[in-house]
Amino acid sequence: MENTKELSPKKKAIYEAIIELFGQGADLSTLTVAEITSKAGIGKGTAYEYFSDKDEMIAKAIFYHVEQFCNGLYEEMQKENGLYEKMMFTLHVVEKEIAESNCVFRLIHAMTDNSLLGKKMQMLEETQTQHGFILRDMVRKLIIDECGEDKMPSEEKVEYLIICLLSKMVCYGMLLKKTILMQDKQRDELRKTMCDGICKEFYEVIG
Amino acid sequence: MENTKELSPKKKAIYEAIIELFGQGADLSTLTVAEITSKAGIGKGTAYEYFSDKDEMIAKAIFYHVEQFCNGLYEEMQKENGLYEKMMFTLHVVEKEIAESNCVFRLIHAMTDNSLLGKKMQMLEETQTQHGFILRDMVRKLIIDECGEDKMPSEEKVEYLIICLLSKMVCYGMLLKKTILMQDKQRDELRKTMCDGICKEFYEVIG
Amino acid sequence: MENTKELSPKKKAIYEAIIELFGQGADLSTLTVAEITSKAGIGKGTAYEYFSDKDEMIAKAIFYHVEQFCNGLYEEMQKENGLYEKMMFTLHVVEKEIAESNCVFRLIHAMTDNSLLGKKMQMLEETQTQHGFILRDMVRKLIIDECGEDKMPSEEKVEYLIICLLSKMVCYGMLLKKTILMQDKQRDELRKTMCDGICKEFYEVIG
Amino acid sequence: MENTKELSPKKKAIYEAIIELFGQGADLSTLTVAEITSKAGIGKGTAYEYFSDKDEMIAKAIFYHVEQFCNGLYEEMQKENGLYEKMMFTLHVVEKEIAESNCVFRLIHAMTDNSLLGKKMQMLEETQTQHGFILRDMVRKLIIDECGEDKMPSEEKVEYLIICLLSKMVCYGMLLKKTILMQDKQRDELRKTMCDGICKEFYEVIG
DNA sequence: TATGAATGAGGCTTCATTCAT
DNA sequence: TATGAATGAAGCCTCATTCAT
């Protein structure tokens, strides 16, 4: 993906417009170019100077946003010590997101989806070979950090762990949605349970 | 949802056409009425004798299919003894599905989605209150069967378990996708690992 | 037009359904066969046993209704003595109609229209040569009655009078619409003014 | 209504296309967008850049045309002296219109109609409060001109006169339709009779 | 480079009419 | 004779994309 620093202002405006609309609850598959460019404050034709079609705009915008989000999350996470604390922090972020706009959670969903977003995902899978699947990448770094570079488990185990951690986070999100009104105390309890579960699974796998 | 036995032939034709198209990789959000009715072998107008609009056709078709699938899976599962065997059987089915058309997996995704399918899901959530969310329902029954009615864990634990089991299945599906070409032996190994993990988690939670 | 006594029950049901729907404010040009037959309590196909198409149903229904209305009005009018009293009575009926559903007024409009109802009017003009324009016919009889058969004015004068009387009635209807809320006393005054005007014009023409 | 001078060329093309089609005998309620835009020489989608839907196109086109027609008629009429001459002139124009395309007469009908044109009329009635019902407005000006501003009759009388004059004109149009083939001499006679009748009524009312 | 007016393919939906029962 | 399920032509409208300015 292009370097953020070199991102042209028009491209950035388009990305941010899409993310904003998405955050406001818009369905990615019914988003229109008119909405996007209008929100971005540019002409409709201009968008086509930077992207070949609508799908590319949306897919790249998603990618850009997830990248931003993951980078930020990873950086913040570094301030925490140990997997447990890091996961606690992550779940806090997930929780806030869901409470606010459910946006990142829906993004994860969109990116996990291998068929609904059609062409958009094809493009993502293409770029994936270049840069890695940004979300998985972050989790992978998390795992490596925890193990230390000298004690790296086999690639298969890493792959398995990535999926397990991701599915646990999704799991937490789903539970939150189900019990959206539950009290702070209960939520604290649940968060701890989740992190315990995640850590237990992690240490069992890496032995 | 309507009784399957009383399903009119035209409705059934429409449901099956949608599922077939979906199975062939069609994107639910870009499916056209023309495609559906053509595949169903009926006139375009006929579809509107049975459904009020396109979204209703698709949502009910999905629901119908998941219902059919879950009923069938649950029934078959009863022939197996114990959670481990049942999960092994389930993972086999998941595996076959993914190898074939990825269809049920995508259905789970579609049904889990809380925003992309828009109105369709609103309708599903409405019926959910009447019949239970078919997929969760099946998992719930599975849990109850395993515990025995006299040893039922608290509702919170059941809720947590449902999510954990579902997330493990999704987890398995994702791993398979990543390693789609891996050999039978490895796949057998992975399946066992997953089932072990599921059972371990299960018994830890219900104590 | 067919003799009312020989009108088949199905035909009558269709006529009455259309008139009822029209009375409820339906737009004749957007009325559907489904609505009509449903209201008439018969099958959709049955309507096509009696009429060649939808337009024929509507045109004949209008014709039938106007015929009924005019016959009834003319009969009732005979109980009154002299043009002035007859016109007073007629305006009372017009007034009631407008207050209730505006239906007959709209029918007059529909029948006067030479282009909006398209084919329907072509059919009416066709029958017109056989039976006379039912509304004009009634006014013509009114004029003849008033003059006495021995003192009949020239055909041209009759023609002119017909139009003048009709235009005065329409005029009264329009005024009522404009002043829909005016008090009974004012309305009585207006009615008298109108009748005076009609009579004055009438006697001036026939000399 | 928008200022004629500022009317965009596309809007004007659409208005003129509709009026032309109407003049050719098309039924307003069955006019299609495809016909309109094709006649206007623009793309179908373009029409929707300027109007929110088909009904708006037609209603505004009618309004535009009546406005143009009334403005022109009133201006020409000013060259004539006195009510009688003005009415003679007007009837001449009406006559020509009916002989040519019957267009304005049908427009009057369409604008008088309070139910058939549905939404279109709602829009017209809305603008009516801003600009006055263009046709009535013209007649009103005619009346004021004739009385002189210092001798204005009561508003009620003006209202009554407007309706009377309009209904007489309609009356004349109807007579022409009935006797479309009558000779020039007869028509001249009738026109005079009508104008006499109109003037007599006028002076009786204003006293 | 930036624009947005113009386009037209294509989608959804309605409904008059037919025809097998 | 009566029916109403089935049909598909046809209409309205949207919106991704282009291109002249």
pLDDT in tens, A102-156: 665 566 555 555 444 444 544 554 454 444 457 778 888 889 888 887 888 888 8
Q: How confident is the model at residue B151 (pLDDT cuts 50, 70, 90)?
A: confident
State the nucleotide closest to B48 in CA–C1' terms.
E13
Residue B167: Cβ-neighbour burial (10 angstroms; 0-12, 13-18, 19+): buried
- Do the chains contact at A171 and B167, CB–CB below 8 Å? yes
Query: Using an 8 Å Cβ cutoff, are A47 and A37 in contact?
Result: yes
Domains in chain C: boundaries: 4-206
- Do the chains contact at C116 and D27, CB–CB below 8 Å? yes
Chain D residue numbers with beta carbons less than 8 Å from the beta carbon of C102 are 114-115
Residue A56: Cβ-neighbour burial (10 angstroms; 0-12, 13-18, 19+): middle
Determine the Cα–Cα distance for residues A91 and A105; give it in Å rounded to an integer. Answer: 12
Q: Which pLDDT belongs to residue D118? A: 42
Query: CB of D26 under 7 A from strand F?
Result: no
Kindly give, in sequence order, each residue whose CB lies less than 8 Å from that of residue C140, ignoring residues fewer than 6 positions away.
C132, C158, C162
Q: Which pLDDT belongs to residue A75? A: 92
Residues 34 through 93 of chain C touching chain D, CB cutoff 8 Å? none
Cα of A178 vs its chain's centroid, Å: 21
For domain B4-206, the CATH class is mainly alpha
Residues 169 through 188 of chain B touching chain A, CB cutoff 8 Å? 170-171, 174-175, 177-179
pTM of the model: 0.83
pLDDT in tens, chain D (207 residues): 445 457 899 999 999 999 999 888 788 888 999 999 999 999 999 999 999 999 889 888 988 888 888 889 899 999 998 899 999 998 888 888 777 666 555 665 555 554 344 445 445 544 544 444 577 788 888 888 888 878 888 888 888 888 888 878 877 776 676 655 567 787 888 888 888 888 988 888 887
Chains D and B: 3 or more CB pairs within 8 Å of each other = no
Other Cβ atoms within 10 Å of D1 Cβ, number: 13
Q: Which pLDDT belongs to residue C124? A: 53
Give the rounded percent of residues in chain A with a pLDDT score beyond 70: 78
Specify the residue for token string 């992690």.
A202
pLDDT of C122 strictly over 50: no
Please name the member of C116, C117, C159 whose beta carbon is closest to the beta carbon of D178.
Answer: C159
- Evaluate the CA torsion angle C192, C197, C200, C201 in order and state its sign: negative
- Least Cα distance to D143 among D166, D156, D161, D167 occurs for D161
pLDDT in tens, B47-70: 999 999 998 999 889 888 888 888
B39: Cα within 13 Å, side-chain hemisphere: 21
From the CA of D45 to the C1' of F17: give the distance in Å: 13
Give the rounded percent of residues in chain A with a pLDDT score beyond 90: 24
In this structure, what token pair is assigned to residue B58? Answer: 């698709």
Q: Which pLDDT belongs to residue B179? A: 60
Give the rounded percent of residues in chain D with a pLDDT score beyond 70: 77
Give the rounded percent of residues in chain C with a pLDDT score beyond 70: 78
Q: Which pLDDT belongs to residue A120? A: 53
Query: Using an 8 Å Cβ cutoff, are C191 and C143 in contact?
Result: no
Q: How confident is the model at residue A33 (pLDDT cuts 50, 70, 90)?
A: very high
- Least Cα distance to D135 among D155, D97, D165, D103 occurs for D165
How is D138-206 classified by DSSP, letter by letter? HHHHHHHHHH-GGGPPPHHHHHHHHHHHHHHHHHHHHHHHHTTT--HHHHHHHHHHHHHHHHHHHHHHH
Determine the Cα–Cα distance for residues A182 and A195; give it in Å rounded to an integer. Answer: 18
Looking at per-residue confidence, does B100 or D205 come out higher?
A: D205
Q: Mean pLDDT score of chain A, rounded to an integer?
A: 79
Residue C162: Cβ-neighbour burial (10 angstroms; 0-12, 13-18, 19+): buried
pLDDT in tens, B108-149: 555 554 334 444 544 554 554 444 457 778 888 888 888 887
Any idea which of A88-92, B98-102, D154-158 has the lowest mean pLDDT? Answer: B98-102
From the CA of A56 to the C1' of E8: give the distance in Å: 23
Other Cβ atoms within 10 Å of D154 Cβ, number: 9
Chain C residue numbers with beta carbons less than 8 Å from the beta carbon of D106 are 114-116
Query: CB of A45 under 7 A from strand F?
Result: yes
- Least Cα distance to D84 among D148, D151, D142 occurs for D142
Residue D125: Cβ-neighbour burial (10 angstroms; 0-12, 13-18, 19+): exposed
Q: Which pLDDT belongs to residue C182? A: 67
Any idea which of A156-165, B117-126, B166-175 has the lowest mean pLDDT? Answer: B117-126
Query: Using an 8 Å Cβ cutoff, are A175 and A190 in contact?
Result: yes
D110 touches chain C (CB under 8 A): yes
Rounded to the nearest 5°, which phi and psi values hold at C107? -65, -45
Least Cα separation, residue A6 to chain B (angstroms):
32
Determine the Cα–Cα distance for residues A145 and A147; give it in Å rounded to an integer. Answer: 6
Looking at per-residue confidence, does A181 or B59 come out higher?
A: B59
Q: Mean pLDDT score of chain B, rounded to an integer?
A: 79
Residue nearest to nucleotide F19 (CA to C1'): A45
Determine the Cα–Cα distance for residues C92 and C198; give it in Å rounded to an integer. Answer: 15
Q: Which long-range contacts (CB under 8 A, 24 or more apart) does A92-96 make?
A: A92/A191, A94/A169, A94/A172, A94/A173, A94/A176, A95/A176, A95/A187, A95/A191
pLDDT of C131 strictly over 50: no
Query: CB of B29 under 7 A from strand F?
Result: no
Query: Using an 8 Å Cβ cutoff, are A74 and A84 in contact?
Result: no
Q: Mean pLDDT score of chain C, rounded to an integer?
A: 80
Determine the Cα–Cα distance for residues D170 and B62; give it in Å rounded to an integer. Answer: 62
A11 touches chain B (CB under 8 A): no
- Do the chains contact at B167 and A163, CB–CB below 8 Å? no
In this structure, what token pair is assigned to residue A25? Answer: 């609850």
Looking at per-residue confidence, does A165 or A37 come out higher?
A: A37
Please name the member of A27, A118, A164 whose beta carbon is closest to the beta carbon of B171.
Answer: A164
* Segment (H or E) for C19: helix C9-23
- Do the chains contact at D116 and C109, CB–CB below 8 Å? yes
Give the rounded percent of residues in chain D with a pLDDT score beyond 90: 24
Mean pLDDT value across residues C41-51: 96
A197 touches chain B (CB under 8 A): yes
Q: Which pLDDT belongs to residue C110? A: 59
Rounded to the nearest 5°, which phi and psi values hold at D28? -55, -35
Find the DSSP H helices in C41-115.
44-50, 54-77, 82-100, 103-112
- Least Cα distance to D196 among C156, C201, C192 occurs for C201
Q: Which pLDDT belongs to residue A129? A: 41
Other Cβ atoms within 10 Å of B168 Cβ, number: 24
